[in-house]
Structure 1
Amino acid sequence: MATGRDLARSALEAARAKAGARGTEPGVRKRPRTGGGVTGAGRQSPRRRRWSGARPDERDPQPLGRLASRIAVENGWNTRLTSGRVFSSWDRLVGDEVAEHAQPVSLKDGELTVRATSTAWATQLRLLQGQLIAKIAAQVGHGVVKRMRIQGPSAPSWRKGPRHVSGRGPRDTYG
C-alpha cells in the first residue's frame, strides 16, 4: 500500500518529467516579454503588479489631506483655496484685536483689501501693514498676500430712492 509520502514523491517525479519535456525546471515560471497591461490568457504582466511592494507606491492608501492637495494642484484651485484660508482664519492670522476692528474684503492678484471700522484703525493698520503681511505669509504661504490696501469706513450716502438729481446734495437748499 502506498503512503502519502510515496504519492507526493511520484507526483513530483511526474511534474519533473513533464517540465523536462518542455525544457524548463519545475517551480520556475517564465515571464512573458510583453509591455504593461494584461497578457493573452488574462494574466497580468510583471510590469503591472497587483500588489504594492515594501516601498511607498501611488497605489498605497494616502492621507486625505495629501489627496485633496494633489487634486487642488491638478485643477488649479490652489489660489482660491489659499485666499479662502486668509478669509476663514483671519482672526488667527492677524490676532483678535486687529480682527475686531478690520475685516478682509477681497484678495486679487496678491493685493488684500481690508476695511477698518474707523479712520484711526485704518491709520494704525497702514503702520502695521508690513508686520501683518509677514504674519499672513508665515501661516498661509509666501506670495499669497504681497501688498495691502487699507480702507476706512465708508461715508454715509445722501442718495435716497431710485432716482437722483446731480448737484451738491443737501447744501443746495441752504444758499
Structure 2
Amino acid sequence: MMAEEAERPVLSGAALAREKLAQAKADAARRGQLPRSEPRRRAAGPRRDAGDPQLLGRAIADLLAARGWEQPAAVGNVFGRWKEIVGPDLAAHTKPESFEDGEVIVSADSTAWATQVRLLAATLVRRLNEELGEGTVKRVKVRGPRLGPKPRGGLRVTGSKGPGDTYG
C-alpha cells in the first residue's frame, strides 16, 4: 500500500475534495447506506387548515386575484406614488387621470408642461412598465389645461376678433 500511495500524484483543492467524496460514497454503498437520489424537502412550517386565519397580506392578494383586481390595484398604487415615480418637479405640474386599454391619460397644468410630458412620453411608458409589468402601458396621452367656456358678461367686447383688434 505504501508503494501505491507514493506513486499517486498529490491532489489539492477541488480535486482532493472530489476524491474524498467518491471514497465516502463508495464506503456508504459497501455498508448499504446509499446516498439520497432526491434532494430533501424543506419544511415550510406548520401547514394551515382551510379554516385557520390567514395572514392579512396573503388574504388581500388572494382576494385581488380571485376578483381580477390585480391590475387596477397596481395602477392605483402607481397613481398614488406618482411623485416618487416621475419626480417632484413633473409631479407638481402633472397628474395621472386614468388608465384604460394600455393608455395612461395625464393632465398638465400648462401647455408648456403638457409639451414636456409629450417629449418624455417614451421614458414615462418605460418607467410605468417597470412598475406595472412589461407591456402594460403602451402609450401616454397628455391633456393640457382645461379652459372652460369663456364667460359672458357686460365687460366683454363683442364683434370680430383677430389681429385687427390688437393692432388697430
Q: TM-score, normalised by structure 1?
A: 0.55
Instruction: Report deviation, 1:64.
Output: 2.8
Identity %: 38
Find out whether 1:141 has 2:136 as its counterpart: no
Find out whether 1:107 has 2:99 as its counterpart: yes
Q: Name the SS for the 1:142 alignment partner.
A: coil
1:22 aligned residue: none
> Cα–Cα, structure 1 residues 85 and 144, in superposed 2: closer, same or farther, change >3 Å?
farther
Q: TM-score, normalised by structure 2?
A: 0.57
Q: CA RMSD in A?
A: 2.6
- The aligned amino acid for 2:121 is Q
Instruction: Report deviation, 1:157.
Output: 1.4
> Unaligned 5+ residue runs, structure 1?
1-53, 161-169
> Cα–Cα, structure 1 residues 142 and 66, in superposed 2: closer, same or farther, change >3 Å?
farther
In 2, the alpha carbon distance for the partners of 1:78 and 1:142 equals: 15
Report 1:26-175 matches (<5 A). 54-55=43-44, 57=47, 59=49, 63-158=55-150, 173-175=158-160
Instruction: Report deviation, 1:118.
Output: 1.0
Further displaced range: 99-108 or 150-159: 150-159
| Equivalent pair of 2:78/2:131 in contact (CA under 8 Å) | no
- Indicate the structure with greater helix content: 2
In 2, the alpha carbon distance for the partners of 1:105 and 1:55 equals: 43
| Equivalent pair of 2:108/2:142 in contact (CA under 8 Å) | yes
Instruction: Report deviation, 1:115.
Output: 0.6
| Equivalent pair of 1:117/1:153 in contact (CA under 8 Å) | yes
> Unaligned 5+ residue runs, structure 2?
1-42, 161-168
> Cα–Cα, structure 1 residues 55 and 156, in superposed 2: closer, same or farther, change >3 Å?
closer
Report 1:1-16 matches (<5 A). none
Instruction: Report deviation, 1:147.
Output: 1.0
> Cα–Cα, structure 1 residues 69 and 99, in superposed 2: closer, same or farther, change >3 Å?
same
In 1, the alpha carbon distance for the partners of 2:151 and 2:98 equals: 25
- The aligned amino acid for 2:147 is A
Q: Name the SS for the 1:174 alignment partner.
A: coil
